Structures are given as C-alpha cells and as structure tokens.
Amino acid sequence: MTSTIRNKELLVRFIERVWNNEDLQAVDEYVAPLYTIHHDPGDPWDGQTLDTAGFKARLKRSRAPFPDQSFKIEYIIGEDDKLAAAWKWRGTHLGEIAGIPPSGRTITMSGLTVYYFERSRLCGHWQVADRLGVYRQLTGAG
C-alpha cells in the first residue's frame, strides 16, 4: 500500500472521528505534535502552529456552535504528503457564533482542504470554505 492510499484512509477516519464526533483520543492517534493552519480565512487560528492541547481546544471551540456537525467528503485526490479533500458540511446552529445567537437552523457549507502529512500523521492544512454562504444563512444578509 502506498503512503498516499494509507494517508487517504487515515484522512477519512480523522474527519469522521475528530471533526464529526469530537473524539479526542483520535487526535492523539492522527495528529502530529505540531499542526500548522497554513491558510484558513475566518479561522481564529489562521497562521498559527498548535500543539496537541491547542488542537483539541480549537476542535472543541470550533464545534461548539454546531454540536451535531458533519463533514461529508465528496472525493480526495492526493500526491505524496498532501491530500486535497472536497467536502460538504451541515450542522444545526445551537450555539453562539460571531455574536449571532443560536437559531436552531440547519446550516450547510462547502469547502476544499489540502491536508499535509508527515510520517502518517496530519501536520497542517490549507483551506477555503464558502463563508459567505454561511453568513447569508445565519443573517439573511450579503
């Protein structure tokens, strides 16, 4: 099995356990000791390098407004130590986000993320999500 295929399987499990289910043990298994958010407009940690505790704090805070959130991967393409995932996301707006109180509405979003690997662990990403779509659903503006 090539490392690209192994990394794809790892990424699918990472998304499911870490981002869809807030499984903190999976963070220890899949995430490198240092994880860099290379590019992620709107993410409060954009540009930062996080240790494992920092990654877990980001995970918890990111998921809090949408506790039932779920990423569905459309497809993954990969080369060496980078994989690009096209995804769609949905979540119920049950917590405050950017000053907007919980609405109970189902919010949808799409995005693309390039995940970076080192020694079969995730060590960073470069991501763009359709934030304007979310902004419009939350506020009716834009």
Nearer to a copy of itself, 27 or 122 (CB): 122
Is residue 127 at the binding interface for a copy of itself, with CB under 8 A as the rule?
yes
| Distance separating alpha carbons of residues 106 and 71, to the nearest angstrom | 14
Stretch that binds a copy of itself, among 25-33, 48-56, 63-71, 81-89 (CB under 8 A): 81-89
Q: Quick check: 52 and 34 in contact, CB under 8 A?
A: no
DSSP string, 58-127: HHHHHHTTSTT-EEEEEEEEEETTEEEEEEEEEEE--S-BTTBPP---EEEEEEEEEEEEETTEEEEEEE
Nearer to a copy of itself, 39 or 56 (CB): 39
Nearer to a copy of itself, 75 or 104 (CB): 75
Which residue of 17, 39, 58, 90 would you call a contact of a copy of itself, by CB under 8 A?
Answer: 39
CB of 111 to a copy of itself, least distance (A): 5
Nearer to a copy of itself, 84 or 123 (CB): 84
Tokens describing residue 20 = 């869809």
Phi, psi of 27 (to 5 degrees): -60, -45
Three-class DSSP category at 36: strand
Where does this chain bind a copy of itself (CB under 8 A)?
4, 39, 41-42, 74-75, 77-80, 82-84, 86, 110-114, 126-133, 135, 141-142
